[in-house]
Chain A
Amino acid sequence: MKRSLAYIALCCLLVVSCTTDQDDNTDGYTATPLELNIPPLFAEKILPPVIPEDNPQSVEGVTLGRKLFFDKKLSADNTLACAGCHSPASAFSDPRQFSVGIDGTAGTRNSMPLFNLAWNYNELFFWDGRAASIENQALFPVIDPIEMHNTWPEAVNTLQADPEYPALFEAAFGTQNIDSTLVTKAIAQFVRTLISGNSKFDRYLAGTEQLTQSELNGLNVFLDENRGDCFHCHGNPNNPLWTDNIFHNNGLDETHIDRGRGAVTGDPREFGTFKTPSLRNLAYTAPYMHDGRFNTIDEVIDHYSEGLVYSETIDPLMKKVDEGGVGLTPEDKADLKAFLLTLSDPSFISNPDFQDPN
């Protein structure tokens, strides 16, 4: 037995020696590794965040990504940054129903908030899931004609000619040769740091804060199949994301001018389905729904209570559609709203690490 262990140890030593030789011969650049600041509840309750092997988090990468996120140089006329439609004060969403691009053209969907995106396990981003990663998502706005209306070669040329950026890219990725891949990698690294996990409800679960009776009743409404039944799409206290990141038709319209996920997949069964948004930070993310049609949380609750409309792809989880919904009492509505607001996280929108560094 001892001899076997000795042999194994020797083998390991030899293998390690080989590996070390190999490492010594590589010229790969490694920036300073940066761990995500994962809230304890996330670490305890759900799977680890998704971080691509080819884009590990680094101090320099996040610094660069943050600068890029707030920099208007990515747009064709240097007037619009990512933050122009994803403002920290709005939990990285836009208080306008539709964001307006550099040419004054408005979009057709409400800007999605940006937080906890590293835990989107199916890695489908946007309301319709057309982007397959955060890096991929960051490619779109720069060249969208109703957003930044730029081209990637132009955007890269602008950054390359900038007195600061080449050195920042070298620090982050070991090269001064800027391209769209590195730009989006840096932005994605910053976006992954946008973690919201310090709401009143998080502290309630941690045992450091109490909920009011109204908030507790609101939680019961949320979890009650007979009343809110919100949890089947928006999660529960064991899932701090408060979204399933899946696509649903939640009974907004009889016909679908915007086909949502169905427009991406071409599958009629998905016409009019959109990604479930997280319920975190609702205090800052109005207006609501993919088209920002509801200005208040009250309007959203009224929709699920009385306003459901039937269409072929409506999700089976929508109840009593023929009656417009489950018909919550005014008290239950008020309590549900009170609970929902406990999921907002003021420390997230005021986090100095998430503000404009430029």
Chain B
Amino acid sequence: MKKIVLMIVASVLVFGCNNDDNNPQPTPNATVEFTFTHNWDGDVIENSDFDLLQYFNANGEQMSISKLVYLISDVTFTNLSTAVSYDAGDYNLINVREGTNLTFTPDIEIPEGEYLVTFTFGFDDEDNQDGIYPDLNSADGGWNVPMALGGGYHYMRLEGKFVDNTSAQANYAYHTIRANDNTTTPITLQDTSFEVSLGQVTVGSSTSVEVKMNVAEWFRSPNQWDLNQLNTVLMPNFDAQIMMYENGSTFNGSTGVFSKGTVTQ
């Protein structure tokens, strides 16, 4: 009872403070939730779909997905009226098979309104600093990239099996990182993260945006991917990393792997 009385007193005091402040500010008060969904040319990818040789890529190879983990960062909201940009500067590591971090709310509040929404696939060079994120160092045995390949972090680990041109099953590890050529001195590095635009979004008091990844696009265009040629040891392959960047992004008018899905208020 004593506690209740004290709480009432405290509440009165707090409301008293608020009443003193008669100049309500249009402070940012909306957060936006993102939900990440995954499909293969429209067929939803769920846990039960992993490890099944049920997909055919653009090159005609039958393939499975065993692992799909990827990083997005720098979700940015640009107000279409004021041109002010808001970026929490945080990131999200999505593990599709394990179903972790499929929803993500950037740690920033923004005013309600109309926005252009973008995010970065992976880390851009500013963020891609070696070993500085303990949660990523701890994730998946270490989300890091060896220093010999330029350091920093993976963008994506997409792994599975495919039926090769001898009809045998073989492994692939489609890992995207910053393109690197360590045959040069110093090492040649090229930022192959890319910005994804989700277009215009109306942000209200409770907005949720679906971000869709069509995994088939990683293998389609502009570079039709031949898993018989490019299956593993892709991290130190500069040209392969550029091709991954081109296929994942909307490079040269290609579709890209990401698109905006349903927006709910």
Q: Which of A's residues lie within 8 Å of B, judged by CB?
A: 3-4, 7-8, 10-11, 14-15, 17-18, 21, 44-47, 119, 121, 220, 223-226, 229, 231-239, 241, 243-246, 269, 276, 310, 313-319, 321-322
Contacts and interface: CB of A to CB of B under 8 A. Distances in A.
A241 B147 CA distance: 18
A114 B3 CA distance: 47
B6 A14 contact: yes
Contacts of A321: 170-171
A224 B142 contact: no
Contact of A232 (B51, B141, B169): B141
Contacts of B16: 7
B144 A238 contact: yes
A64 B84 CA distance: 60
Interface in B1-39: 2-3, 6-7, 9-10, 13-14, 16-17, 20-21
B83 interface: no
Given A18-B2, A314-B171, 4 more contacts: A10-B13, A45-B137, A238-B130, A238-B131
A243 B138 contact: no
Contacts of B157: 232
A235 B233 CA distance: 17
Contacts of B2: 18, 21
Contact of A45 (B7, B134, B147): B134
B14 A7 contact: yes
Nearest to B10: A11
Nearest to A226: B233
B173 interface: yes
A191 B22 CA distance: 58
A233 B141 contact: yes
B171 A236 contact: no
Contacts, number: 116
B261 interface: no
What interface size band does chain B fall in? Answer: 35 or more
A131 B7 CA distance: 44
A10 B11 CA distance: 11
Interface in B128-155: 130-131, 134-135, 137-138, 140-142, 144, 146-148
Contacts of A8: 14, 17
Contact of B6 (A7, A17, A45, A236): A17
Classify the interface of chain B: helix, strand, loop or mixed. mixed
A316 B138 contact: no
Interface of B: 2-3, 6-7, 9-10, 13-14, 16-17, 20-21, 50-51, 66-67, 130-131, 134-135, 137-138, 140-142, 144, 146-148, 157, 159-161, 168-173, 232-236
A235 B232 contact: no
Contact of A231 (B14, B137, B138, B146): B146
Contacts of A238: 130-131, 137, 142, 144
A14 B137 CA distance: 42
B141 A239 contact: yes
B172 A226 contact: no
B116 to A, nearest CB: 34
Given A46-B138, A235-B141, A321-B171, A224 B148 contact: yes
Contacts of A239: 137-138, 141-142, 144
B138 A121 contact: yes
Contacts of A241: 141
B53 to A, nearest CB: 10
A246 B13 contact: no
Given A3-B20, A10-B13, A316-B159, A18 B233 contact: no
Given A7-B17, A45-B131, A236-B142, A316 B137 contact: no
A226 B10 contact: no
B140 A46 contact: no
A223 B142 contact: no
A38 B130 CA distance: 22
26 contacts: A3-B20, A7-B14, A7-B17, A10-B10, A11-B14, A15-B6, A18-B7, A21-B2, A220-B148, A223-B146, A224-B148, A225-B236, A232-B157, A236-B144, A238-B130, A238-B137, A239-B138, A239-B144, A241-B141, A244-B141, A269-B50, A315-B171, A316-B67, A316-B161, A316-B172, A322-B168
A317 B159 contact: yes
A318 B141 contact: no
